[in-house]
A and B are shown apart, each in its own frame.
Chain A
Amino acid sequence: MTARLTRDDVAKVALLGRLKLSAEELERMTSQLGRVLEYVDILNEVDTQSVEPLAHPIELANVFREDVERPCLSREEALANAPKTDGRFFVVPAILDVNH
């Protein structure tokens, strides 16, 4: 379980999580996360071979509702917090490479 956490690992995970970190943050994060990961190794002491994971304390399953339309937010309400909008849509940078 304990692979030493490297700066590269941290940079890779930052990319996965879409988090831009400064060089200083990267450094500090590597040592702080490293300490936490070292600490959680204590879980290796526990024999969990025949134990099922508990993802959720009440283990409800398949709570559905009827597939019926209900009122929802108006367009105005939905756009009210938009960082950039033309009044109809959320405006975002181009997703596809325009040159292809």
Chain B
Amino acid sequence: MSLLDATASQLLDAIAARKSSAVSVATAFLNQIAAHDARIGAFLHVDREGALKQAAQVDEKLRARQPLGKLAGLPIAIKDVVCTRGLPTTCGSRSLQKFVPPYDAELIRRLRTADAVILGKTNMDEFAMGSSTENSAFQITRNPWDTERTPGGSSGGSAAAVAAAMAPFAIGSDTGGSIRQPAAFCGVVGMKPTYGRVSRYGLVAFASSLDQLGPFATDVAGAAALLEVIAGHDPRDSTSVDHPVPDYRRTLERPLSPLRIGLASEHFAEGLDAEVAASVRRAADVYRSFGAEIVDVTLPHSKYGVAAYYLIAPSEAASNLARYDGVHYGHRAEKFDGLIDMYATSRGEAFGPEVKRRIMLGNYALSAGYYDAYYLKALKVRRLIRQDFDRAFEKCDVLLSPVTPTPAFKVGELVNDPLAMYLSDIYTLSANLAGLPGISLPGGQSSTGLPIGIQLLGPPFAEETLLRAARMFERETPWHTKRPSLAVAP
């Protein structure tokens, strides 16, 4: 079995049965990174020493027949927006270039308890603001399927790492689609759980009512295994919800019957690439062939999603990023004249253009005289968007939709047109506004060989349903087995 081509489940079994040592598994992925990442740019920091040490500890526990965590020996890449004690956490920003957190995020604590092996931190759009990973202060990440194209964003590094077989899974964060969109562009599985399902303690905040951490994997079972470990209530995150976490892997192979799949007419409007639309319709046919019922639903306010999101998210970001003032940590300017100038100069030097744009937009939308017309108005439209989904889920169990209007776009294509970049989030951001779970899985390929993702959305805490529905599709289709040519084991 080629370690790089194995699924997460196969690796777990091989390690537990001592057919492959955790060290050999970690080494295989670390070597893949060393061989290919100069060209791809998925990682900001690789912790070779730390990863091999963790892997050796797993092997030792196996030798001593000690109990092992659920992800024992599995290498994982972490988006650099998650605090990892002792490892740099830059959020893709000059402002945190030298920041080394003194604590682990709850998600990291859970991964360590599960005996996962942390390979390193992946590249991202600065402070998770972007859809192409071009807004990183340090480097761009290239799509392993076509290195002239972006891997998507903001979790582009994590998606590219999994697509290029540098890690069997990865962690991303999703505020407006930042897991699902790169998953679609890179031909891997990516999931955003229900808001409150996964603790945000230690996740550097972008927009506190929208942010959620979630898994990337090469297959649905991998995503399910990772979700099981990271989901759950955390008293240190007052927005995490005290719902029991189902055993997602146990029910995964059970098809759903009856199953009602909703298709929203609003999702098939102008601007949607014909090949993407065709992939989604073909997916509906696959579900129909299982006996699922395809139901027409309507989401009348979906066309207002981008406008509402690009008022709410920047407003929350303006507040969350006020802490980067150069006082306790982060970048402080060398030259300034007094305290206020210290703040303004430090922040001016430390933040990239997209971050500045969103802080400005947010502060404007929240300022006296504009608050009602912009921020409050957007919050009211948000409730209407949520109500549309509630009504749709009375008629269907899951909603099937595109993830993105097009396959991966070229590096440089949208980065100078912020509004065009924002509009490309149309299919993903409504789920964040409404707090709903969504999964992106490989659903097709363009005529030029680029991955096309399909999205399933569900009501709150319907992750089990989503995973089972996704697995039904995956079982009957070849898309998740496709790999970009770079990912062949050396």
Contact = CB atoms under 8 A, between A and B. Distances in A.
Contacts of B304: 42-43, 45-46
A77 B347 contact: no
B356 A60 contact: no
Contact of A63 (B238, B328, B356, B382): B238
A18 B325 contact: yes
A17 B102 contact: no
Nearest to A20: B348
B357 to A, nearest CB: 6
Interface residues of B, number: 72
Contacts of B98: 81
A58 interface: yes
Interface string A72-90: 0100011011111000001
B156 to A, nearest CB: 22
A18 B209 contact: no
A19 interface: yes
Contacts of A42: 303-304, 307
Instruction: Report, as a range, how many residues of chain A touch the other chain.
Output: 35 or more
A9 interface: yes
Given A17-B359, A32-B418, A46-B304, A81 B329 contact: yes
A70 to B, nearest CB: 10
A12 to B, nearest CB: 9
Interface centre among B241, B339, B341, B434 (most CB of A within 10 A): B339
A17 B179 CA distance: 29
Interface in B155-171: none
B340 A18 contact: yes
A57 B435 contact: yes
Nearest to A14: B360
Interface stretch (B28-36, B198-206, B272-280, B369-377): B369-377
Interface string B231-265: 00001001101000000000000000000000000
Contact of B383 (A5, A17, A54, A94): A54
Contact of B434 (A10, A21, A28, A57): A57
Contact of B347 (A1, A19, A33, A52): A19
B318 interface: yes
A45 B306 CA distance: 14
Interface stretch (B117-125, B213-221, B330-338): B330-338
Interface centre among A18, A81, A95 (most CB of B within 10 A): A18
A83 B99 CA distance: 10
A25 interface: yes
Contacts of B68: none
B196 interface: yes
B356 A21 contact: yes
A40 B374 contact: yes
A18 B238 contact: no
Contact of A1 (B99, B100, B373): B373
A86 B326 CA distance: 16
A100 B82 CA distance: 44
A56 B348 CA distance: 30
Contacts of A35: 418-419
Nearest to B195: A57
B329 A53 contact: no
Interface in A4-57: 5, 9-10, 13-21, 25, 28-29, 32-33, 35-37, 39-46, 48, 51-57
B361 to A, nearest CB: 6
Given A13-B360, A20-B348, A48 B332 contact: no
Nearest to A44: B377
A48 B384 contact: yes
A58 B343 CA distance: 34
A43 B378 contact: yes
A21 B350 CA distance: 12
B381 A46 contact: yes
Contacts of B367: 13, 16
Interface string B174-197: 000000000000000000000110
Nearest to A65: B235
B193 to A, nearest CB: 12
Interface centre among B301, B330, B360 (most CB of A within 10 A): B360
Interface of B: 98-100, 102-103, 195-196, 209, 235, 238-239, 241, 301, 303-304, 306-308, 310-311, 318, 322, 325-332, 336, 338-345, 347-349, 351, 353, 356-357, 359-361, 363-364, 367, 373-374, 376-384, 386, 418-419, 422, 433-436, 460
Given A18-B325, A80-B102, A92-B342, 18 more contacts: A13-B360, A13-B367, A17-B318, A17-B322, A17-B360, A20-B348, A29-B360, A36-B310, A41-B307, A42-B303, A43-B308, A43-B311, A48-B384, A53-B379, A53-B380, A57-B386, A83-B330, A94-B339
Interface of A: 1, 5, 9-10, 13-21, 25, 28-29, 32-33, 35-37, 39-46, 48, 51-58, 60, 63, 65, 73, 77-78, 80-84, 90, 92-95
5 contacts: A19-B360, A42-B303, A46-B301, A46-B384, A78-B328
- Cβ-closest 10 pairs across A and B: A57-B435, A53-B379, A20-B348, A81-B329, A83-B332, A48-B380, A54-B383, A63-B238, A77-B102, A18-B343
